[in-house]
Amino acid sequence: MYDVIIVGSGYGGSVMAARTAPYGKVLILERGKRWNSGEFPTGLRAFSAAYRSRRNPLGLWEVRLGKGTGVGFASGVGGASLLYYGITTRPDDHALAHWPVTSATLDPYFRRALDVLRPESCPDAHTIGDQRFFDLVEPGKRVDLQNVIDWSKCTWCGDCVSGCNRGAKRSLDKTYLPLAETAGAELRSETEVVGFTMRGSGGWDVRVQKTGDPSTLETIPTRTLVIAAGTMGTLDIMVRQRNLMPLSWTFGTDIGMNGDGAAFLYNTPYAMGSHHGAPITTTVRLIHTDGNGLPRTLTVMSGRIPKFLMHASATMMNGLSEVMGERFEDRQSLWIRAKRRLADLRAVGPDGALSRTLMYKLDGQDSAKGQASFDERGQSSIDWPDYANDPILVFAAERLRQWATKVGGVLLCDLGTWPGMKSFGVHALGGCRMGKNVEEGVVDDLGRVFHPAGGVYPGLWIVDGSILPGSLGVPPSLTIAALAERAAEYLLTRPSSAN
């Protein structure tokens, strides 16, 4: 019998494992495989082959298409940290204003997570060019980021989102998970959880199998069960459980995309270094006042294109700018602009149009109106047909238009507004949102799962992106880590509440 079984090794799972392992018998179950530096796919073909599917259940990445949205996420030891840019940032206090836990309460847990993650600013960020651009269009609003990256090893190869083969990214398999394993936690990778039932004598029986192989089904008992399978993975698991155990009616509702969006200001007069694959290092943080007079954060990043997509993207933008682009006048001659576009067709570099293109990558406090839907296999996707018209995205589009008017270039507006296209994001948050009671949420502010008849299910927790009750407006990993730090502390100091 384990004291704690944790499903998933992303942010929620790794933190819970690291903090509980010194005090009991802990098992982490992760459906993906271990990826070591040097093993991540390089190039478009290898990246495509790493797509997770029924035929390739150990794949690294996956996209779920719903009405209006597409959500990307990862599977592997370390969860989505394997594919992220390592941006580690606290949300504005107002982003948590209506949460059952305040920013001030979370303060010590943010600091505890930062002590482990140790994010650092890129020492050479000022040489990229995008800082100067942001200072021009939004004076005084630039925020330089900190990333969980060892900058001395980072070569700006641009492969953050397909996995770092340079050993520069300190993903969770290099931070929290070694803490957990050193303290005695067992980690079973390539092992997926298919369900669980409450034991008569207390605790939970967890049904697991080798990933993709139902013939290997076995049951493992535990006193406490922590579901940390990421927003989409947790929705997949909990929708099956809902048939066996009642949950709050809020299950699967109020899902945010964290304002994810992307647009392009192509071929401007300003060098922005977008031909580098450097991680995202620079943003501006803007505040939009919503219809109720409340502040909402919009983080605009100078996004990046992975190196293996660089040439294809430059060629595509070259063509699309002619067909879909809206031209804003600048002081440069037609010939200079054309020369840059021709340069990109030969090889993407500092003389090309892409190097002077702003990748307008957004994280924003959207209104979290997504709804989970499930296919015949019980796999979740997120429906939000008019997501692209959410007020934060409309605000973002207006702001980009203002910048285009100021600096010139060709505006390619948010993909989600193009006919037949969807808005894509990698930050789906919610679906098992926390609330003060079962009317407001699936879990309480610690992640304990509410029973609709009253109280919580003993020893059952959800601790991952799915419990966030709204979008943050900044990348979410640090907030998930802080919530997990707090949940783990509570679980350890009041073990009876978990049993």
Is residue 446 at the binding interface for ligand FAD, with CB under 6 A as the rule?
no
Is the alpha carbon torsion for 128, 133, 139, 141 positive or negative? negative
Q: Give the tokens for residue 66.
A: 């719903």
Residue list 213-252, contact with ligand FAD (CB under 6 A): 228-231, 233, 237
Tokens 């610690």 belong to 446
With both helix axes pointing from N to C terminus, report the angle between 103-117 and 477-493 in degrees, rounded to the nearest 10. 100
Measured CA distances, 337 to 133, 253, 264 (Å): 18, 47, 16
Q: Tell me which of 81, 224, 253, 281 binds ligand FAD, using CB under 6 A.
A: 81
Residue 210: CB atoms within 10 Å: 17
Residue at 430: amino acid letter: G
30 scored as a contact of ligand FAD (CB under 6 A):
yes
Which range in 85-93, 269-277, 300-308, 391-399 contacts ligand FAD by CB under 6 A?
85-93
> Please, what is the minimum distance in Å from the beta carbon of residue 353 to ligand FAD?
25
Under the criterion CB under 6 A, does residue 256 sit at the interface with ligand FAD? no
Question: Which of 21, 32, 407, 485 contacts ligand FAD by CB under 6 A?
Answer: 32
Whether the Cβ atoms of residue 225 and residue 461 lie closer than 8 Å to each other: yes
Q: Which stretch binds ligand FAD (CB under 6 A): 117-125, 408-416, 440-448, 475-483?
A: 475-483
Cβ contacts of 295 within 8 Å, gap of 6 or more? 92, 94, 287, 288, 289
In whole angstroms, the minimum distance from the beta carbon of 168 to ligand FAD comes to: 14
Which of the residues 345 through 364 are near ligand FAD (CB under 6 A)?
Answer: none
What torsion, rounded to 10 degrees, do the Cα atoms 399, 400, 406, 411 define?
-150
| Rounded Cα distance, 354 and 352, in Å | 6
**How many helices (H) does the chain have, and how many strands (E)?**
10, 20
Q: How far apart are CA 194 and CA 173, in angstroms?
A: 24
**Closest approach of ligand FAD to the CB of residue 205, in Å:** 15
Instruction: Single out the residue of 254, 475, 483, 487 in contact with ligand FAD (rule: CB under 6 A).
Output: 475
Name which of 73 and 133 has its Cβ closer to ligand FAD.
73
Which positions from 106 through 165 interact with ligand FAD, judged by CB under 6 A? 161
Site for ligand FAD contains 79 (CB under 6 A):
yes
**Shortest Å distance, C-beta 215 to ligand FAD:** 17
- By beta carbon distance, the residue nearest ligand FAD is 10
Q: Is residue 261 near ligand FAD by the rule CB under 6 A?
A: no
Strand partners, 285: 299
State which of residues 6, 7, 262, 388 lies at the interface with ligand FAD (CB under 6 A): 7
Give the closest residue to 348 by CA, choosing from 267, 254, 432, 287: 267
Binding residues with ligand FAD: total (CB under 6 A): 41
Task: Kindly write out the interface string for residues 396-435 of this chain, putting x where it contacts ligand FAD by CB under 6 A and - elsewhere.
Answer: ------------------------------xx--------
Interface pick for ligand FAD out of 16, 17, 26, 29 (rule CB under 6 A)? 29
How far apart are the C-alpha atoms of 180 and 418, rounded to whole Å? 45
Asked whether position 465 contacts ligand FAD by CB under 6 A, the answer is: yes
372: which residues sit within 8 A by CB, 6+ positions away? 235, 239, 251, 252, 253, 255, 380, 381, 382, 383, 431
- Residue 76 interacts with ligand FAD (CB under 6 A)? yes
84 binds ligand FAD (CB under 6 A): yes
Q: Which residues bind ligand FAD (CB under 6 A)?
A: 7-13, 29-32, 72-76, 79-81, 83-87, 161, 192-193, 228-231, 233, 237, 426-427, 464-465, 475-477, 480
